[in-house]
Chain A
Amino acid sequence: MSNGTTPQSPPEADVTSRRWRLSLVWLVPLVAALVGLSMLIRAWQDAGPTVQVSFETASGLTPGQSQVKYRNVVIGEVSDIQLSGDNRNVLVTIELNHEAEAFTREDSRYWVVRPRIGTGGISGLDTLLSGDFIAADPGNSEQRTNRFEGLESPPPVTYGEPGKRFELKAQDLGSLDIGSPVYYRKVRVGQVVSYGLDKSGDGVDVVVFVNAPNDRFVTGDTRFWNASGIDIGVSADGLELDSESLISVLTGGIAFGTPEFSANREPAQAGTQFQLFNERGVALSPGKGPAQMIRMRFDQSLRGLKEGSPVELIGKEIGEVSRVTLDYDPASHTFPVVVDARVYPQLMGQAYGKLLSAIGEPVGGPSEVPLLFEELVSQGLRAEARTSNLLTGQLYVSLELYPNASKTEFNVAKRPIRIPTRPTSLEKLQEQLTRLVERLSNIPYESIARNMDGSLDALQQTLGQINRDVLPSAVDSLQGMDQVMAQMQSTLTTASDALDPDSPERARLGHALDEVERMSRSVRELTDYLRRHPEAMLRGRAAPARSELAP
């Protein structure tokens, strides 16, 4: 305050320092501007291409929020959603990231991920809460575009996945869907990629994708079959239950395998066509060869025989019933059952060739099968409906040889081939039983009973007579005899007395008298016995009677 000598010097210093500090301070906004600029440039560099994808609906998509993801990595964002000019579609503008440049390839695919219950489980569940997003799959094409047609359902297989596609021809789709699994030995190796009706509408073309390296198990001879659901079949073999896996039970699936007899073990080319069989057994059975229709006429009810019932030749299944119809015979007022069946003669195996060579027909001749059947019928081949399953009453047609069957006519020219029939074994059993019952009922039970009654009456009378008349008189006569004996004894005693005691006559007489005495005793016993047991006259003495005779 008091020191005011140098008031001029500080302002000078102020001036110089102010200039220098001015530039330093302005560095701050400069740095900020540079940083901002660099960010701008980076953002501009990061900005990727913009593409436009058309979808049927924009449900779940929000501009500025919905993301575009590839392998769950965000590669872009929906920036705008507009209706297309004709109001048929929705045009979704996507701003892709810089590194997502590959997604402008012409064959890139875009689809909206929504919750789906698929074969691999439930997918897209997170979109329930987060909203749907667009998934993308970069293509391989060299051409670039920025307009795409979005897929309405996700493609099951993405580009670049190693594996092969195969085309399956099926009668119907069954419960298959895109993404349905493909199993090999119950291991999941692929999935259904697409399906569609074939051009004629007679069947369904199913395209499956089998992932590498398991695609090498698909060979030229591989058979595909529908493993959807559980196959519960009541067939001639009983109850059958077959399923591939729980998932395939729920969502359907395809399984494939190569039959044991297959010789072709070369992996099939991608795109090879196969037939999709309905069940495993059919798929893996050897080739049936051409079918031949046969017709049989049964004079009996064929309840339990229906389409698909097997036709067996000496126990070997060679075909199946294709139709069971009722016929009417006005002459006999009966309803014969006409059974048409497809037989596959080649299922006879070696027998087929040998039979043909036996009748001198070349394999592949025009009428080899009718001739073959002619030969067999002449040997006694007869069709018979047999019960295969007592529980379910299923029937099957059995072709058996009955060498002593009566001869029948066989017309080789007739189609379908007519096979003579013979009643079922059950039918025959029934017949025999009926005959037996008839015979039994023919027996004259009443007269037999009457006759027997009379005889028994007569027998009773006879026995009464014996009891009444014969027995008392016999006892009387025996008593008389006893008296005679006693008299004889007394006579002999007197005689013995009369005889000299030392004389041999006397001794003999004594012996004789003893004998007589024993005899008389026996007679007495006999009469006693008879008095007690008069029936002994007829039946003889009872065995334990000995002790009673003791006295």
Chain B
Amino acid sequence: MTRAITLSALAVLFLFPLVWSGWASLEDPSNYLEMARFGEGVGTYAANSVLVSFMTVAGTLVVSALGGYAFARFDFPGKNLLFLATLAILMVPYATILIPLYVLLGYLGLQNSLAGLSLVFVMFQLPFALFMMRNAFEAIPRELEEAALVDGCGTFRAFSRILLHAVRPALVTVGLFAFLASWNDFFAPLILLNDGSSFTLPVAVVSMTQRTFGAIDYGMLQAGVMVMAVPCLILFILLQRHYVRGFMSGALRG
């Protein structure tokens, strides 16, 4: 009984901020209208965020599915070295290579570009994604693929027509992690984007608090918080099972 009371009290503490934020933003629905008009318009920032997340998810899925297949099924020179180099991304603190990435994207003509930002996100997702995909491909019985090869498929046809379907759960997990990471990240877009019209939601909404004149409109701010948080909350609740399973497979990044 005490246990039930403790749990309920804790649940109230954990859920209260979310409920309050939703309530504070809706108390005066014009908060949303005002937020929609902030800066370049919330539509621009939301579109940027959606585009970056889409490119990140697509890029991560394509690169890690191809790579995972290569690591699970082929032997090629430098295989172990490349795998170790990918896992080393986990060892190197995120924040310490953003400054050279900023310079490097400049050389590549990708500074202040949503595509450049997405590539950086794909890179940070790669250790986890590649690890997941390699394990998923390894778990498929070889016979499935060999039967297709004998029937005259090339490896790419076997890969795209048969194997990709078999690893769908891993694809969902990798995609979900890539979405949450790219949608929510603040530091990378803060550094890599410097033109207001290319801001993603986190950077744009934070800039609401740092206006030099006028009082901060807290109701509007909470409307911004909701616009950022609600898609993640819905997605998490719908795909909770995948998230937890992906999580338990070991590779994670704090």
Q: Do A and B bind each other?
A: no
Which residues of B approach A to under 8 Å, CB–CB? none
Which residues of A approach B to under 8 Å, CB–CB? none
